[in-house]
Every structure is written in C-alpha cells, then in structure tokens.
Amino acid sequence: MAARFFLVALFLHFVAHVPSASSCGTPQDTAASTVGPTGCSEPHIRVGGKCYAFVLDFARTWAESRDYCQSIGGDLAIVQSCDEFTTLVRNIHMLGQEVPDRFSYWLGGTDLGDEGAWTWIDGTPMAMGVPYWGQAGETFEPNGGNVQNCAQIYKDDRYFIHDGECDKHGYPLCQEGLAARLDNQGRLIGERD
C-alpha cells in the first residue's frame, strides 16, 4: 500500500511540475549560438534573447561563482518568467551543457538577507512554487531553512530550483549584463550593518 501511495505521489509530482501551455506559453526551442559584436560576448551564448555562460570547468561555492560571473561581465543568472526558465532548461539539454557530476548550476537567488524571503540578486522577488521549484522526496522546495540559502537548478530533480548550502560546490550559470543590487550576504549593496 505504501509503495502504491509513493508511486501515485511521484506521478502527481511529475504532472504538477510540467508547465502547461497556459502558464508558460511556448518556449523557444532553438539551440543557442554564439553571435557577433551586437550580441553576446564570449564565453556567453544567446539563449532565448539573453546571454548566458554555462561554466563547467570546475565547481565553486555560490560566492565564488558570483565572483567568476562578475569577472566576465555579468552575475549569476536570474529567471523572471516561466518561458525563460523552460527555455533555459531545454537549452541545457540541447546544447549538451549537462552538469557532469553530482553538483548543480548556481542561480542568482538567495534568502540570506531575510530567511524565507527569496530574492534575485537584482532585488526582485523570486517566484515560488510550481513550475520553478522542485521537490526533495515528499517535501517541496525550498526546504533547507537557515542552512540552505542559495538557489540552484538541481540536476537530480530535472533542473528544477532547489535551495542549497551556499558554501557547497556547484557550477556558475552566468548571465551577461546583470546589475546586482544584493551582495553575497543578501544585503542591498552599500547598506551598512
């Protein structure tokens, strides 16, 4: 009986996490390509109208990932719509940018400044729930309390967003041209203690 309940719950989780056409529209299925001087600068490539760098050379902490992204002209990626999120994840698969090991991609989202209030590094609030956030077992994300305060797209949950420990390792998913408003502690830049 418990096994049947688990399978039904797993099926419902899968169905609940497939974005419907009405919630997402039609994502852009075309694979990204490097573009000329008016487009993205290397190592960024155009995906769905924005420039991203999928950095898989070695894993870094969330703060180290932000530093790297800033060094190449951006910051960790932010996702403002379901279409954008779906397009980004589809292109990870289409471009062969799958994470090669047990780590995941870091995103520019955090609740370091205010536990439970998830914010993108540009200061805008993160959308919560389906279709962005995943599930760990029977528990919906984010579920890490004050231990897991940095957003990642989690490889082992089909690249849905999970909260992760900021000092653990993952790969930077950089977005070109972002102007961050939050520092690595989740505070507004220029704000004093």
| pLDDT tens per residue across span 90-102 | 999 999 999 988 8
- Tell me whether strands 171-176 and 105-110 are parallel, antiparallel or unpaired: parallel
Residue 9: its pLDDT value, please? 39
Q: Which of 129, 134, 133, 138 is nearest to 6 (CA)?
A: 138
Whether residue 189 is contained in a domain is answered as: no
Residue 192: its pLDDT value, please? 54
How many domains would you assign to the chain? 1
Residue 12: its pLDDT value, please? 36
Please write down the HEC assignment for all residues of 59-96: CECHHHHHHHHHHCCEEECCCCCHHHHHHHHHHHHHCC
Per residue in 124-164, pLDDT (tens digit) is 999 999 899 998 888 899 998 999 999 999 998 999 999 99
CA–CA gap between residue 91 and residue 191 (Å, rounded): 37
Is there a contact between 56 and 97 (Cβ–Cβ < 8 Å)? yes
Whether residue 185 is contained in a domain is answered as: no
CA–CA gap between residue 163 and residue 172 (Å, rounded): 15
CA–CA gap between residue 151 and residue 119 (Å, rounded): 10
- Structure token pair of residue 110: 């955090």
CATH, residue 125 = 3.10.100.10
The residue type of 29 is: D
182 secondary structure, DSSP code: B
Whether residue 184 is contained in a domain is answered as: no
Is there a contact between 96 and 148 (Cβ–Cβ < 8 Å)? no
pLDDT digit of tens for each residue in the chain (193 aa)?
A: 444 433 333 333 333 444 433 345 434 444 444 444 448 999 999 998 999 999 999 999 999 999 999 999 999 999 999 999 999 999 999 999 999 888 899 999 999 989 999 999 999 999 999 899 998 888 899 998 999 999 999 998 999 999 999 999 999 999 999 988 999 988 888 765 5
- Structure token pair of residue 78: 């932010």
Whether residue 183 is contained in a domain is answered as: no
Residue 132: its pLDDT value, please? 94
Q: Please tell me the pTM assigned to this model.
A: 0.80
Is there a contact between 191 and 115 (Cβ–Cβ < 8 Å)? no
Residue 22: its pLDDT value, please? 33
Whether residue 46 is contained in a domain is answered as: yes
Whether residue 11 is contained in a domain is answered as: yes
Residue 73: its pLDDT value, please? 95
The residue type of 121 is: I
Residue 136: its pLDDT value, please? 84
Q: Which of 68, 85, 70, 74 is nearest to 45 (CA)?
A: 74
Whether residue 192 is contained in a domain is answered as: no
Whether residue 34 is contained in a domain is answered as: yes
Residue-number span of the structural domain to which 65 is assigned: 2-176
